Structure 1
Amino acid sequence: MKELLSAACAVALFAGLLVGAEPVLAYSGEVYTVCRLDPRGDNYLSLRTCRSSRCPEIRRLRPGQFLWTEEPFPQKGWRAVLLMRDINDEYATNQPRGYVFEKYICYVDMTQ
């Protein structure tokens, strides 16, 4: 009897979740560019292997480098990105990927 009640509770919980659920859409990425760097400072943004300045640097990105985001929101200020060869590199699949600090990237509006 106890197992039957547990199964009924699980079904009710699942049904309740479905009633209020909205469709989940996959994030297809957005284009950003490296920006807001100090030209009197290092003037580069580190592409890193993980979400920390302690992680190894993969590459140094210059101002204007285009990036494709892999997630809709930053996590603790870091964004997962793929490098783009240029603004038209929609797929960027063979390019290096890593993490950048979001403070130094700017959204590029591709609808215009």
Structure 2
Amino acid sequence: MSNSLQCWQCGTAVTDQPLPLSTYAECRPCRAQLHCCRQCQHYNPRLRVDCDEPRAESHSEREKANFCDWFKLRREFGEPGEKAPSVDHKAELNALFGTDAGVTETPSNSHTQLDDLFTAPSDDP
């Protein structure tokens, strides 16, 4: 098992911690505890309990060390501050179905038709 490990908080490569990871292991530069929910593969912030493992205990502080029996070390994270690439969905649809040159928008006179529908008929012959 390689010792390449990345800190969940600062993204620094942690090379000075022996594996399996001790419950009290921490990142030297930022002093973040590594045996915590945030460093676990089961961590999922989109869930109510933040954990994909249904048998795991609930922990109120996800950044603090814990004694979870289901802890599974997560080794890599995205770069700190890295954002997901934006996707231009309209460009993808145009590439898939061709450009929207075949679609023409006709000006609508629906407002005029609506006014004509609800105006009172005149009494003039």
| TM-score of the two chains, using structure 2 as the length reference | 0.19
State the TM-score, normalizing by the size of structure 1.
0.20
